[in-house]
Structure 1
Amino acid sequence: MKLFFSVVLWLSVCTAVMAADYSIEKVKGNVYRFSAGHYHSVFMVTQQGLFVTDPINKKAAQHLKQQLAKRFDQPIRYLAYSHNHVDHTLGGDVIAQQGVEVIAHKYADQDLRWTKAPTALPTMTFSDELTVKLGEHSVQMKYYGPNNGRGSVSMRFMPENVLFVADWIVLGRMPYETLPGYDIHGMINSTQQVLKEQPFDVFVGAHADMGSRKDVVRYLSYLEALYAEVRDGMLAGKSLETLQQDIKLDEFSDLKMYDQWLPQNIEGVYKTFIEQSYFDRR
């Protein structure tokens, strides 16, 4: 009996922690950030309905849907996937009930279909750019080429001028481990292109911190420094192990996971040079 009550208490604590792990906060105007642990997505509230982005997973989507119905007296009109990765797209079937358009880039749509991803499949796709209007508000979606996964796009919520990008721009934290599913060349190129466009007021990522254009500029400088250090070290004949020992990039040591992930970031770029640029065949 004592063991039974201990198990019940443990499950209650776990449930409470999981429930507390969800949050909704206003970003600007009618644009909000939904958080499920260290994952984030964005939604916009208008008189013409709701525009929702990545559902993240089924439990998160169920929680979000309940909260949207409780807090806002508007139906969900659109669900947009940032890219194909299932740690962002699962739960789409919870959100995308009758009358909801599911939007994705054509490459994300292709991947979700080919891999038989267990989520709602897109009903609307695009190649380069797509603007969805809801009254005086709009969401401008744009594809910059490869960067993370398949068909990853930016979403700019107007007129609030909030920019949402999943994974290939991360503020206040190192890029993930060995950059699995990432294209370092594309990450740099896509971020450069974003910074050449109309300045945004607030940046929201699918992980880590919200921030400003200045924060995105600093993120790009990290990617460029990492790329250059690994490239130049390989040109000098250094092994991966030596690169991991020699490259420090101390000016970015304040970023979360710096000590743990810098060696892995170096490994990810090193493998990209081998696998995509055939650096070892020169």
Structure 2
Amino acid sequence: MPRLLQKLLTTALLFIGFATQAYEIEDLGDGLHRFIDDRHRSIFLITSEGAIVTDPLNKKAATWLNEQIKTRYNVPVKYVIYSHNHSDHIYGAEVFKSPHTTFVAHKLAAQDIKNTQMKTVTPSLTFDNELLLTLGDSTVKLNYHGPNDGRGSVSILFEKQKTLFVVDWIVIGRMPWQKLWSYDIQGMINSTQAVLKYDFNTFVGGHADMGNKADVARYLSYLEQLYSQVTKAALAGQSLEQIKQNIKLDEFSDLKQYQAWLPLNIEGVYKRLMEESGMGWRSDL
């Protein structure tokens, strides 16, 4: 084989190797683990009576995780909890389907899964505001805080481990996602204020970094400042382009994607104000 062709082939194989999905499991203590699939994260609990798995993410990731639970821990999966209705977090649940597994979601997420014929397992256990699940010596508390991201998005608190798991509407170490397409901004603020009253030390999100309660409080501060400053500017009659130029929020410049996504975050808030809050057709503005 010519040397150049061999080099190209080797490079291609290396690229394929790097592109191959690499899954990770991180031990958080007291039977709790974080599962990482590229940009997505979920969390699972191992007890003497079985496992509680949150978002399966996708079929390939769920298949790998299911095998790991069998071989590493040798316990059945008793519960699979959906954080909300978005397919990039809850597909692949069929991998865990068995007579001893209960699939759990908020009633609005379950409704959306059914109505839109999502290719995942329809939840058999739903709830309105709060649900407590106990397995072994651990209790998991699920709460719905109103609209925030998607439909039926809940907080998941592992009480013994003092660990809070929230997907999409709290992100640590990184800016909120671009134009905030599926977000209810004020709802996210309300929901984050609510979970800050919980007793937790560790925060795990569905994306980005792990953190603690202080990190969640800082994230809330960013959202509150972003929302209030865009609202104030819009009420003053500034255009979207003027608002993008005038709002800086430099105290959060260490967050990943700050430079690229701050203008997009501003645009997302502005559009929610114009459309969902009706500011775009108010006669007094």
Residue equivalent to 1:174: 175
Q: Which residue of 2 aligns with 1:109?
A: 110
Cα deviation 1:43-79 (Å, max 9, x = unaligned): 0000010000001111111111111112111111110
The alpha carbon displacement at 1:201 in A equals 1.3
SS at match of 2:183: coil
Tell me the CA shift for residue 135 of structure 1: 2.1
> CA 1:5/1:121 → structure 2, altered by over 3 Å: closer, same or farther?
farther
Distance 1:138 1:224, change over 3 A: same
Q: Secondary structure at the match of 2:20?
A: helix
Q: How does 1:1-282 map to 2 (within 5 A)?
A: 10=12, 13-19=15-21, 21-195=22-196, 197-282=197-282
Determine the C-alpha separation between the residues in 2 that align with 1:269 and 1:133: 39
Question: Counterparts of 2:239 and 2:60 in 1: how far apart (Å)?
Answer: 44
In the alignment, the residues of structure 2 paired with residue 9 and residue 117 of structure 1 have an alpha-carbon distance, to the nearest angstrom, of 39
- Which secondary structure state, in structure 2, belongs to the residue aligned with residue 200 of structure 1? coil
CA displacement at 1:12 relative to structure 2: 6.4
CA distance in structure 2 between the partners assigned to 1:244 and 1:199 by the alignment: 37
Residues 1:4 and 1:115: Cα distance change in structure 2 (over 3 Å): farther
For residue 54 of structure 1, give the secondary structure of its aligned residue in structure 2: coil
TM-score by length of 2: 0.94
Per-residue deviation at 1:27?
A: 1.7
Residue identity (%): 49
Q: Tell me which amino acid in the other structure corresponds to 2:20.
A: M
Which residue identity is paired with 2:60?
K
CA–CA distance in 2 between the matches of 1:107 and 1:11? Answer: 45
Return the letter of the residue paired with 2:278: Y
Cα distance in 1 for partners of 2:281, 2:237 equals: 13
* CA shift for structure 1 position 14: 2.1
SS class of match (1:178):
coil
Aligned residues: 280
> 2:109 aligns to what SS in structure 1?
helix
Quickly say closer, same or farther: Cα 1:42–1:117, change in 2 above 3 A.
same
Deviation track 1:135-162 (CA, whole Å, cap 9, x = no partner) reads 2111110000000000000111121111
Instruction: Tell me the CA shift for residue 18 of structure 1.
Output: 2.3
Offset of residue 82 of structure 1: 0.1
Asked if structure 2 preserves the Cα contact closer than 8 Å seen for 1:28 and 1:162, the reply is no
CA contact (8 A) 1:42 1:53 kept: yes
Compute the displacement of 1:275 (Å).
Answer: 1.1
Q: Which runs of 4+ in 1 moved over 6 A?
A: 1-5
Give the letter aligned to residue 234 of structure 2.
Answer: M
- Name the stretch that deviates more: 203-212 or 6-15: 6-15
Contact 1:79–1:96 (CA under 8 A) maintained in structure 2: no
